[in-house]
């Protein structure tokens, strides 16, 4: 009996994904047998059927990476533009924070002045004892 391999083993041997191997089984391009396993059923594939599978998909020659990638802008320009945008954003955020803090400080100062004014008005009045006895 030939050696039987799981879908994951076949995928690793052929350099294809497990999904591709499952599709090959569904379309009949690869012969597989379903057998019981501890977690249900699983497909197993005879090792001798893989020889044809590896030859069926032609491999295209790859171009060198330098010819595949053409940068839109030089990296330095892109980084400088990004750095400028980040600086502008930080300045904007800093200005917003300063405005909020100044607004809150002004509100606090207004309330404090109001409180102190009321407190001083209270101090000008005679004490309740003096008002009671009229002195």
Q: How would you class 110 by CB atoms within 10 Å of its CB: exposed for 0-12, middle for 13-18, buried for 19 or more?
A: exposed
- How much is the pLDDT for 58? 47
Per-residue pLDDT tens for 91-116?
999 999 999 999 999 999 999 999 99
Residue 67 pLDDT greater than 70, yes or no: no
pTM: 0.40
What is the pLDDT, as a whole number, of residue 81? 86
Mean pLDDT within 25-44: 89
> Of the given ranges (43-47, 50-54, 56-60, 94-98), which has the lowest mean pLDDT?
56-60
């Amino acid at each position: 009996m030939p050696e039987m391999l799981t879908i994951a083993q076949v995928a690793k041997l052929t350099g294809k994904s497990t999904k591709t191997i499952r599709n090959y089984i569904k379309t009949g391009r690869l012969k597989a047998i379903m057998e019981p396993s501890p977690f249900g059923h699983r497909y197993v594939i005879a090792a001798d059927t893989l020889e044809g599978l590896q030859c069926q998909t032609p491999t295209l020659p790859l171009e060198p990476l330098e010819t595949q990638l053409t940068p839109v802008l030089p990296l330095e320009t892109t980084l400088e533009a990004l750095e400028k945008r980040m600086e502008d954003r930080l300045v904007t955020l800093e200005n917003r924070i300063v405005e909020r803090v100044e607004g809150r400080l002004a509100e606090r100062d207004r309330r404090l002045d109001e409180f102190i004014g009321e407190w001083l008005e209270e101090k000008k009045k005679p004490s309740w004892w003096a008002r009671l006895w009229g002195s």
